[in-house]
């Protein structure tokens, strides 16, 4: 069975996007070589990326561009070459390399994908998808980078989750920039 992880940045006050829906604050401090190597290492692996439409539209504005290839060459190569699935009720086609639009029921489609042979899958951003798949018990691991910033307003990636579920901490790593990587798995 394929493993499904979530990788998201959150602010100290628990938001993954600010009040305007932006995640730009997560990339503000880029002067941490150790953290940059960590990000590049994650992006150079093999796997499949899952997005909601809104996150897909944000990602395609940057990763396939010459600026991304110049500023973040390793991450851009990984993002552009990995297979990507965008879950959308409104999109009919995707223009980003290796991207498939999925229109069916999110939970049943992801459950089918998990049953197939292949590499792991990662959700980036996509809070609506995260909350639905968390509620359905389909997420195997939550990887969050806590950023040393307070946004005051924003949106949690768990908006819509109605019941509590417990997680166990499996790994942490802190960086010079003050960012802290935390890895959690559901308690079963």
Q: What is the pLDDT of residues 130-172, one digit of tens each?
A: 999 999 999 999 999 999 999 999 999 999 899 999 999 999 9
Which tokens sit at 144? 């969050």
Give dist(CA 88, CA 94) in Å, integer. Answer: 10
End-to-end CA distance of the chain: 17
* Average pLDDT along the chain: 92
Name the residue ranges covered by the structural domains of the chain.
Answer: 4-186
Beta carbons within 10 angstroms of residue 38's beta carbon: 16
pLDDT, greater one: 182 or 22: 182
Q: What is the pLDDT of residue 45?
A: 65
Quote the pTM value.
0.92
**Fold of the 4-186 domain:** Dihydrofolate Reductase, subunit A (3.40.430)
């Amino acid at each position: 069975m394929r493993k499904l992880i979530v990788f998201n940045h959150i602010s100290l006050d628990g938001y993954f996007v600010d009040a305007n829906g932006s995640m730009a604050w997560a990339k503000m401090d880029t002067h941490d070589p150790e953290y940059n190597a960590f990000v590049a290492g994650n992006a150079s692996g093999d796997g499949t990326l899952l997005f909601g439409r809104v996150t897909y539209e944000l990602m395609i504005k940057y990763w396939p561009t010459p600026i991304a290839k110049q500023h973040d060459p390793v991450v851009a190569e990984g993002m552009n070459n990995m297979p990507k699935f965008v879950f959308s009720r409104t999109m009919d086609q995707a223009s980003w390399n290796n991207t498939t639009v999925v229109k069916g029921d999110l939970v049943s489609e992801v459950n089918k994908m998990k049953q197939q042979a292949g590499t792991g899958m990662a959700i980036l951003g996509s809070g609506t998808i995260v909350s639905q798949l968390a509620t359905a018990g389909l997420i195997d691991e939550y990887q969050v980078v806590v950023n040393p910033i307070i946004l005051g307003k924003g949106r949690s990636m768990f908006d819509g989750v109605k019941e509590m579920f417990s997680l166990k901490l499996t790994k942490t790593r802190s960086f010079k920039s003050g960012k802290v990587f935390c890895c959690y798995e559901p308690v079963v």
